[in-house]
């Protein structure tokens, strides 16, 4: 009887693990199109389509990564809602992968950022606050920073991160991705350094603008407050690119 109970618990545990694994994988495969439509950026109810400039930038990055054409064809960029990059999917030929390009990639300067209607804590952003100007500055990224972001999201898809659940493994993947990107040259190193500097500045501004909620989300230095090690701290990733920059 004891053996049967142990066998039942073992089978039940394995079945539950397989079920959870499959559920986690579904948004990256059979429900990938639905996921994309859900997180896509819409303006006045109409989905904003990716422009040729961003398509060409993605192509440039994939060429820098020396991806073959058949791999490049599996990765599709789109505009994602909000100011955080997004990626999902795999290099499975049936489903492919998607890269969410933040809408602030459309900003050429702080004036472009300032005209956007930004809502924080269900209230429209007060543009007269000093932190609002800091936020606008943090949202404008150079071409090098944009290329870093695109390369990072592509390499995340290629890392098969969706098959993994351990936070410590994801942190190792983050470190490996940054190491690989740094080997692409000075432009990518400068882009990574700029991106994380601006991410930290953005979070510092949001910490103030969001008031008590901001203090719950961000540390005073701009790092995100999270349980465990979901990803490497922003400041650590910035230091990595600073160190690579000094070695050149």
HSE (side-chain half, CA atoms, 13 Å) at 133: 3
Tens-of-pLDDT digits for all 248 residues of the chain? 544 444 433 443 333 343 344 456 677 778 899 999 999 999 889 999 999 999 999 999 999 999 999 999 999 999 999 999 999 998 988 899 999 999 999 999 999 888 888 888 888 888 888 999 999 999 999 999 999 999 999 999 999 776 665 567 888 899 999 999 999 999 999 999 999 999 999 999 999 999 999 999 999 999 999 876 678 999 999 999 999 988 77
Q: Are 191 and 136 in contact (CB under 8 A)?
A: no
Q: What are the CA-CA distances from residue 176 to residues 37, 124, 158, 179, 204 (Å)? A: 30, 39, 12, 5, 27
Q: What are the CA-CA distances from residue 203 to residues 82, 131, 151, 194 (Å)? A: 14, 10, 22, 14
* Positive/negative CA dihedral, 238, 240, 242, 245: negative
pLDDT at position 228, please? 63
Q: Report the number of distinct structural domains present in the chain.
A: 1
Task: Read off the pTM.
Answer: 0.88
Which residues 6+ apart lie within 8 Å of 47 measured at CB? 37, 40, 41, 79
For the stretch 154-176, what's the b/e string if a residue is b when 16 or more beta carbons lie within 10 angstroms of its beta carbon?
Answer: bbbbbbebbeeeeeeebbebbee
Tally Cβ neighbours within 10 Å of residue 106.
16
Residue-number span of the structural domain to which 216 is assigned:
1-246
């Amino acid at each position: 009887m004891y053996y049967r109970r142990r066998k039942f618990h073992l089978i039940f545990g394995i079945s539950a693990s397989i079920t959870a694994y499959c559920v986690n994988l579904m948004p990256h495969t059979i429900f990938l199109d639905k996921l994309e439509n859900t997180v896509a950026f819409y303006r006045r109810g109409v989905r904003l389509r990716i422009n040729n400039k961003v398509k060409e930038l993605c192509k440039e990055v994939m060429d820098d990564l020396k991806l073959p054409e058949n791999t490049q064809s599996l990765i599709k960029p789109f505009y994602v809602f909000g100011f955080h990059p997004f990626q999902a999917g795999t290099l499975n030929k049936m489903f492919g992968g998607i890269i969410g390009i933040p809408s602030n990639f459309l900003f050429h300067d702080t004036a472009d950022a300032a005209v956007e209607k930004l809502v924080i804590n269900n209230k429209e952003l007060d543009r007269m606050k000093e932190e609002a100007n800091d936020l606008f500055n943090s949202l404008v990224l150079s071409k090098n920073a944009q290329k870093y972001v695109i390369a990072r999201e592509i390499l995340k898809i290629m890392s098969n991160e969706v098959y993994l659940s351990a936070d410590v493994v994801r942190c190792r993947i983050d470190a490996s991705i940054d190491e690989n990107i740094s080997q692409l040259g000075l432009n990518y190193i400068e882009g990574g350094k700029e991106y994380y500097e601006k991410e930290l500045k953005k979070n510092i501004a949001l910490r103030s603008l969001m008031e008590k909620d901001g203090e719950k989300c961000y540390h005073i230095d701009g790092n995100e407050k999270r349980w465990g090690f979901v990803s490497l701290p922003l400041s650590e990733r910035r230091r990595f690119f600073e160190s690579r920059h000094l070695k050149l």
